[in-house]
Homo-oligomer: A and B are copies of this chain.
Amino acid sequence: MTASAPRRRARVGLVQLSVATNRRADNLARADALLAEAADDGCELVVLPEAFATALNLPRSHEVAEPVPGPVTDWLAARAARYGVWLAAGVLERADGRVHSSAVLLDDTGRIRDVYRRTVVYDLEAHFLTGEVGARAVDTPFGRVGLLVGYDVQFPEVLRTLFADGAEIIVCPSILLRPFAEPVRQMVLARAAENCAYVLFAAATGENTLAGLTYMGRTAVVRSPMAIGAYSRDFRKQAPVLAEADREECVVAAELDLHELRRMRDAAPFLADFRRCGLSTALARATSAPHPSVADAAPPPHAPAVGESR
C-alpha cells in the first residue's frame, strides 16, 4: 500500500453467514470458505456479520467473548494477509470485565486499523453487554470507512457522528432477528440517503436457537438514491440497492463508485445545510467522547500513515 489518491472504485463483498450458537469452529470454517470466494471474486474489502464466530450467546457471553487482539482477530488477520483483502467483522469482545459487541477493521496485511464497540444495547442484552459512545471514520485506500454494529443502524444519531467525521463507506456487521427485517431494511436505505454514503449491511442468517427465532438476513450494499444534487441540474435517480440477499448463506458483492459518491457530495448542499444548522454543532460536541484506544491501531514507523493515502 502506497500513499496515493483514494481509489475511484472498490469492489466489496459481504458475507451473509449462518451464525450458530456454541459452534465456533463450524462458523469459522464456513466463514473461511465464503471469504475465499469473495477474494476470488476480486473483493478488496470483505465484511462478516456481528459476532460471526460466537453469536451473541447472551447467557454465556462473558465466557465466549475474546479480547481484541485475540484468537478471533488473529484468525481474521491471517485471512486478510493470505487473501490480500481488508476485512471488517463483528467480534464479541471482552475488555476490563465487560463484554462489547464490537466491529474490527483489518488492513490487507492483517493489521487492526480500527475497533468500534456498539453504542446502543438492546433491552434484555443490557444484562450482558455494555454500550459505548464513540463512532468515528478512518482512512483506507478506498476512502473513509466508519464502523457500526447491527442495532446501531436503527439510531440515526450514531451514524451521524460517522457522517460528521467524513465517512464515505459505513460498514455494519449485524446479527438482528427476523421480526426487525422490514423496519431495519427501511432504515438501512434511509441511512445511505441521509448521510450520502454507501452502507454495507452484512447480516447473520440462520437460527438463533436460544431465542427460537431466525436471524433476518437481507444483507445489502446500499447507496443514496440520487446521484447528483438537485440544484446542479445534473441529478438523476439511481437504484439504491446495489446487491442484496434474502436468507441464504452467500457472498453479496458490488462495485462502489467512490468517484461518483465524491461528486455527489460536492454537489449536494444538504451536507453543508446540516452543518450550518445548530443541531449539528451541538451533536458534534455531544459525541466527542474519547474512543477506546487500540494498542496496535497506529501504523508502524516504516509504513505510511493510513491518513496519507487520501
Binding site for B on A (CB under 8 A): 119-124, 126, 131, 133, 151, 154-158, 160, 177, 179-180, 182-183, 186-187, 189-191, 193-194, 213, 224-226, 230-231, 235, 237, 240, 269-270, 272-274, 276-280, 282-283, 285-287, 289
Contacts and interface: CB of A to CB of B under 8 A. Distances in A.
A237 B193 CA distance: 24
Contacts of A126: 273, 276
Nearest to A232: B179
A193 B183 contact: yes
A158 B240 CA distance: 24
Contacts of A280: 157
B235 A156 contact: no
A121 B226 CA distance: 19
Contacts of A183: 193-194, 224-226
A286 B277 contact: no
A307 B185 CA distance: 36
B179 A240 contact: no
B279 A155 contact: yes
A182 B226 contact: yes
A240 B279 contact: no
Nearest to A237: B182
Contacts of A225: 182-183, 186
Given A124-B231, A285-B286, A156 B154 contact: no
B155 A157 contact: no
Given A126-B276, A180-B226, 13 more contacts: A119-B277, A122-B273, A123-B231, A123-B272, A151-B270, A154-B193, A154-B270, A155-B194, A156-B194, A179-B235, A182-B226, A186-B186, A278-B289
Nearest to A122: B273
A280 B160 CA distance: 13
Nearest to A195: B156
A289 B277 CA distance: 13
B279 A119 contact: yes
B283 A122 contact: no
B279 A186 contact: no
A160 B154 contact: no
Given A182-B226, A186-B190, A273 B121 contact: yes
Nearest to A282: B286
B193 A186 contact: yes
A133 B278 contact: yes
B286 A120 contact: no
B120 A274 contact: yes
Nearest to A185: B225
12 contacts: A119-B279, A120-B277, A123-B269, A123-B270, A131-B277, A154-B270, A158-B279, A179-B226, A182-B193, A187-B194, A278-B289, A286-B286
Nearest to A190: B190
Q: Give me the 3 closest cross-chain CB pairs, A-B, nearest first.
A: A282-B286, A190-B190, A123-B269
Contacts of A133: 277-279
